[in-house]
Structure 1
Amino acid sequence: MDKYGCENKTSWEKTVEFHGHECPGLAIGYRATELALQELGTDRSVDEELIAIVEHNSCGVDALQTLAGCSFGKGNLFYKDLGKSVYTIARRKDSNAVRVAVKYGATFDPDFRTLKERAASASATEKDRALYREALQKRIKSILSAGSEVFDVRRVAIELPRPASIYQTLQCSVCGEGVMEPRARLKDGRVVCIPCEGEI
């Protein structure tokens, strides 16, 4: 058993376990993260040695969290809602950063989409589902070994976000719940959380 409580599982298996299922989106995030870590010459972040910036909130972000060790809980995962399949990983000690973007159209496969839709239809046969499962495994395997034909990997200069801070918790005078001090508001001399700000 390793330090994460997993018995001899590969990093891909741990990623699938964390996410809940295998899918092409997870494979894209896994391979993008793997390529970024290789380019940086570094391993998984135990604490805040690495930071990651993602530009979408889909399956691949779970792979990044698992493989790179960057998470919202540790304060070293940052989300920009740009709708782009882009992963940037940077090392705090020297500010080296790598941006990995999925090339437009590189993972689009109309035949795979057709098989998926057929397998999900109410009239799907076992053969339809078997063909889809086979195509899914082939697609995932292809993504996990992909290189420059799918991913644009390049060094970038970025301004690193500040290290995570621990703030005092204040009590909202309306709902009574705790609120992180920088998110608390003062209204009519009373401490309130953002949802309760309009209540007084």
Structure 2
Amino acid sequence: MVNPQDWLEFGQKFHGHKCPAMPMGLRVGAAAMNKLGVDRAKDGQIVAFVDLGEDHCATCYADGLQVIMGTTFGKGNIKKTHKGKWAVTVVNKATGKAVRVTPTAEAMLANKQTDFFKEYREKGIPASKVPNGVVDPLINKVMNAPEGMLVKISDVFDYKLEPHKDSFAGFVCEECGEMTVEEYGRLKNGKHVCI
């Protein structure tokens, strides 16, 4: 069983500030991994499809997912679906099995009614400037709430991933001199150039 508490300190260092959203990502990621019976990805064993959008509150949640599940931008096994939601679908590539986990609406609404949001974040104060006395109780609440009150976990279901191979082919752009992956290049007046 994956224990999100084991990842909280590292998650906060990785993320850069204390807030309730990153720990929510830890809890959601742990719930998904435990339901699927998978370990943290060392390579691309699992893929996370995160329904976050752009420029809305609590996107810090994705860092919690990355930390606990090992789904990272660098490995390419975390993808945003741009739906403006905090759900994640986690797929075990070896089995084609998946699970969808989301924080409960009640938990998210309760977080948004706290001083952390009302007196600080909604007024434009960066999370790193919120006093520990305000944010620490909220983090403790997220980390210690019973799983059933905090997250909704779907049944395991089949998920077909489209196969793809990593590209190792590249070239040096004849205009800017930067290394470019082959698929992202083009021919321009007989020269190999980047886009």
The answer to whether TM tops 0.5 is yes
Question: In the TM superposition, what is the alpha-carbon distance from 1:177 to its structure 2 partner?
Answer: 0.9
Report the Cα distance in structure 2 between the residues aligned to 1:117 and 1:187, rounded to whole angstroms: 48
| Deviations, residues 128-159 of structure 1 (Å, cap 9, x unaligned) | x7xx5334222111212342333221134332
Q: Which runs of 5+ in 1 are unaligned?
A: 1-8, 122-128, 195-200
Residue in structure 1 matched with residue 56 of structure 2 by the alignment: none
Q: What amino acid is the match of 1:56?
A: L
Is 1:71 equivalent to 2:67 in the alignment?
Answer: no
> How many aligned positions are there?
177
The one-letter code of the counterpart of 1:116 is: Y
Equivalent of 2:120 in 116, 139, 145: 116
Q: CA deviation at 1:162?
A: 3.0
Deviation, 1:33, is 0.3
TM-score calculated relative to the size of structure 1: 0.77
3-state DSSP class of the match of 2:48? strand
Q: Residues 95-140 of structure 1: CA distance to partner in whole angstroms, max 9, x if unpaired?
A: 111111223353224242334369988xxxxxxx7xx533422211
RMSD value over aligned CA atoms? 2.6
Question: Whole-Å Cα distance in 2 between the matches of residues 159 and 78 of structure 1?
Answer: 15
Structure 1: how far apart are the matches of 2:33 and 2:41?
10
Larger radius of gyration: 1
Higher relative contact order (CA 8 A, sep 6+): 2
Paired letter, 1:153: I
1:150 aligns to 2:150 (yes or no): yes
SS in 1 for 2:29: helix
Aligned to 1:10: 6
1:60 aligns with 2:61: yes
Matching residue of 1:172 = 173
Identity of aligned residues (%): 28
Structure 2 gap ranges (5+): 54-58
Which has the larger displacement, 102-111 or 25-34?
102-111
